Amino acid sequence: MGLLEVKDVGKRFGGLQALSNVNLSVQENTVHAIIGPNGAGKSTLLNCLIGKLIPDTGSVTFQGQSVLGKKPHEINQLGISRIFQTPEIFGDLTVLENVLIPCFAKRDGSFRLHAFETVEAEKDLNEKALAMLEDVNMQDKLHMQASSLSRGDKRRLEMAMSLVQDPKLLLLDEPTAGMARADTNSTIDLLKEIKEKRDITMAIIEHDMHVVFSLAERITVLAQGTPLVEDTPDNIRDHPKVREAYLGETQQT
């Protein structure tokens, strides 16, 4: 049984059947990519996984526990961390504070009225945040305001914010959308590095074939709201159905 199990999920928006009979199983310690052309239902599926949408039929379970109808913070507390298309960080705060917040969230749960301690006095968490920032090579930018970072650094910071919570599953929503090739490659390297350093399960929703084939160990191809095929990257590359639905056009470029 996989870490994340999607069973018979269907979702309809008015007259549009966005998802139908989606079955998917993300195994522990694998990088699982979900690809598909525009309008295939990737984003709808992701929104079902993170509790933003509730599917009409089927179930989504994480470690045997249903995530449907759960609020974003509850899903995070289960151990699912999400990386966004555009880096989502706390722009007004410093880099260190950005990483401290997930540390507090991990230790104290979704709410605690800790108004009489000082942030500086939390030695353990400060050390943890520092170690994490060293891991992503940002230790010299601790006190910079996060909004003044370069885009690449914002992405690294966002990763650090997710990883410092030791999530069981990292959900990446088109992590390289709109990036230049160089930035895309550095994101791939960052993700590979993360994968090598720790046992982590990743589910990547992605458009860019280059990213998918560089990282993924399993690939599910989604077309018109339903999974076409699920296999290893090598098999996917040569799969006639996939070529027809999706790859034919991109491989020529």
Does 123 sit near other proteins (CB under 8 A)?
no
**Strands 57-62 and 65-66: what pairing?**
antiparallel
Q: What's the closest the beta carbon of residue 126 comes to other proteins, in angstroms?
A: 11
Of residues 56 and 97, the one with the C-beta less far from other proteins: 97
Does 168 sit near other proteins (CB under 8 A)?
no
Q: Binding other proteins by CB under 8 A: which of 8, 27, 86, 108?
A: 108
Burial class (CB in 10 A: 0-12, 13-18, 19+), 173: buried
Nearest-Å Rg of the Cα atoms of the chain is 19
Measure the N-to-C terminal CA separation of the chain; round to a whole number of Å.
38
Does 122 sit near other proteins (CB under 8 A)?
yes
Does 114 sit near other proteins (CB under 8 A)?
yes
Tell me the H-state helices in 18-119.
42-49, 72-78, 95-108
Does 118 sit near other proteins (CB under 8 A)?
yes
Q: Is the dihedral of CA 50, 223, 189, 235 positive or negative?
A: positive
Does 54 sit near other proteins (CB under 8 A)?
no
Angle between helices 151-163 and 123-135 (to 10 degrees): 130
Q: How many CB atoms lie within 10 A of CB 158?
A: 21
Does 199 sit near other proteins (CB under 8 A)?
no
Q: What's the closest the beta carbon of residue 164 comes to other proteins, in angstroms?
A: 10
Does 65 sit near other proteins (CB under 8 A)?
no
Q: Binding other proteins by CB under 8 A: which of 29, 66, 110, 251?
A: 110
d(CA 80, CA 145): 27
Does 104 sit near other proteins (CB under 8 A)?
yes
In DSSP terms, which residues pair with 62 in a beta bridge? 4, 65
Does 33 sit near other proteins (CB under 8 A)?
no
Q: Under rule CB under 8 A, how many of the chain's residues touch other proteins?
A: 46
- Rule CB under 8 A: which residues touch other proteins? 50, 71-73, 76-77, 81-82, 84, 88-94, 97, 100-102, 104-106, 108-122, 141, 143-145, 148-149, 161, 165
